[in-house]
A = this chain, B = another copy of it.
Amino acid sequence: MKISVVQNILEANRRIAEENRRRFSQNRLLVINLMSSPGAGKTSLLEKTIRALNTDFRIGVIEGDIQSTYDAERISRAGAPAVQINTGGACHLDSNMVQEALKSLELDPLNLLFIENVGNLVCPAEFHLGEDFKAMILSVAEGDDKPLKYPLMFHESKVLLINKIDLLPFCECNPDLIEERARRINPNLTVFRVSCRTGEGLDRWIGWLREEVREKRQG
């Protein structure tokens, strides 16, 4: 009984995610579902990314939070249109929430859309939203054992950003171990080591992302 309820929820989610995906494809829009623990740096990464790519591309953001609009305000100040979803307690976004948010976002001019998920290393990985791919951030302050304990998110992500590398001298965290453990779960993972605070490593991420958007536009 419990299992069939869960299956129905995931099946309904997949159906609406497909509808979202078709809308995104019509616009040749690259859509990234960005996930992490609370405070790993999703909004900071988006601020830096928007400021770096705003002259090349039109970028939009759907912001997922349980409550509050702080992150959408930060994104707007960085120069991108942002729509806030408040989940009202739910610990992840689902495809239906995204479909609702799309009513408030003009897709036609956009080349790149980020969907910033609720801060949670568990459930967001289970819900497709219609995105091209999932990207996750892990802060080095969280420790190098996280791939062992939260494997699904590492498995589902195309990109892993290891953030806050400026804190490495002060944390008991080996980033080589993060990469090794993450690649054991997902050998095709693309990994970037960055510090949104100092800017270190962001140029590689920005360069890679620029190519991804260009490829998507060319179809």
Contact = CB atoms under 8 A, between A and B. Distances in A.
A143 interface: yes
Interface stretch (A15-23, A51-59, A149-157, A205-213): A149-157
Contacts of A172: 197
Interface in A30-62: 37-40
A38 B70 contact: no
Given A39-B37, A39-B139, A143-B39, A66 B122 contact: yes
Contacts of A132: none
A141 interface: yes
Interface stretch (A75-83, A97-105, A113-121): A113-121
B38 A146 contact: yes
Chain A interface residue count: which class? 35 or more
Interface in A187-201: 197
A149 B166 CA distance: 25
Contacts of A171: 167
Which of A38, A65, A151: most chain B Cβ within 10 A? A38
B122 A91 contact: yes
Contacts of A89: 122, 152
19 contacts: A37-B37, A37-B39, A37-B119, A37-B121, A38-B142, A39-B146, A65-B149, A66-B151, A67-B151, A70-B145, A89-B122, A89-B152, A91-B120, A91-B122, A120-B121, A120-B122, A139-B141, A141-B142, A166-B170
Interface of A: 5, 37-40, 65-68, 70-71, 89, 91, 118-123, 139, 141-143, 145-146, 148-152, 164, 166-167, 170-172, 197
